[in-house]
Amino acid sequence: MNQRRALVGLLADGEPHPGEALARGLGVTRAAVAKLVRGLAGWGLSVESVPRRGYRLSAPIDLVDPARLAAALRPATRLRLDRLEVVDELVSTNARLMAESDLAAGRGRVCLAEFQSAGRGRRGRVWIQPFGSGLCLSFAWSFASAPPAPGALSLVAGIATLRALGRLGIRGLALKWPNDVLLGGAKLGGILSELRLEAAGPAYVVIGIGLNVRLSPEARAAIAAAGGLAPADLSAGVAPDRTQLAAALVEELCAAVSQYEKQGFAPFDAEWNGADALRDRPVRVQFRDRAQDGVARGIGADGALKVEIAGRVETLSSGDVTLRAVA
């Protein structure tokens, strides 16, 4: 564990900690503590200096516990995973898993980072999430052959995410095609699926999921400035335990992708349409070079979007367009 991460652990309770106590706990000087505190800004964390009481985080952090996460998974799920990794910082969890190619068919792999220095969303957008403020989790799965309706993978992951959140009693959730998880109409999370196909051979998918658990005002402002939907988080009332949330998400992703591999998207179709935030609502479809208004008409059996434009229902894939509700 590096010293910056160790400092976060000491400050995680959100209470003031004297500089002398922090220096003893880290085995460094007071000056080194001050330098480490300044460095926490690189993880998007805000630290306050409380006169005569020391340093404290502007809000407590619930750190993911790797041992407790592994123990929370059912034995059948653990047997399907050849690695369950929790790290402090990565450029991108999706990039980490996409760089690998040694996963056997029918097996999964999980990478969770407390902070991503270059997290990505759909169409190259930046995913903003300070250290420990949400979940940055990627799930890899190796298919024996090309999966049915590969464009539906993000939708399957969306259903798995809603199931995981529902386990923890979170209500008011919806999905916005193709990859947004909504809470009360605001964006709680996003999904990025990447697929690598081998000629006449196996297929490898990495599904990245970012969920906001507790966002600071500064993080909310940064997300709003980047454009898109207003952010939501799970801090209303008592925020869920992040380790339990991660375990539920891994369980549901593993079960959903395994079912999808055997049965395709059909078992998920009704559930997705029931959670569709835009079904039968006016929408604006942004193509590469133009925009058109229409009415969302749900999704097809392959996960493609159906939009009625000028009296004609068109079928659109997620790679073609972006979608916005029209007030």
- Catalytic residue list: 122, 187, 324
Contact 142, 103 (CB under 8 A): yes
* Residues facing 186 on adjacent strands: 183
Phi/psi at 275 (5° precision): -100, 0
The runs of H, that is alpha helices, within the chain are 3-11, 19-26, 30-39, 66-72, 75-80, 93-98, 153-167, 217-225, 242-263, 266-275
| 258: nearest Cα among 138, 144, 116 | 144
Contact 189, 211 (CB under 8 A): yes
Distance CA 193, CA 190 (A): 10
Where is 299: in which H helix or E strand? Answer: strand 291-299
Helix (H, G, I), strand (E, B) or coil at 43: helix
* Residues facing 47 on adjacent strands: 57
Distance CA 125, CA 192 (A): 11
Distance CA 105, CA 142 (A): 5
Sign of CA dihedral 155, 157, 160, 166: negative
Where is 44: in which H helix or E strand? Answer: none
Contact 202, 305 (CB under 8 A): no
Contact 205, 148 (CB under 8 A): no
Strand 322-325 versus strand 173-176 pairing type: unpaired
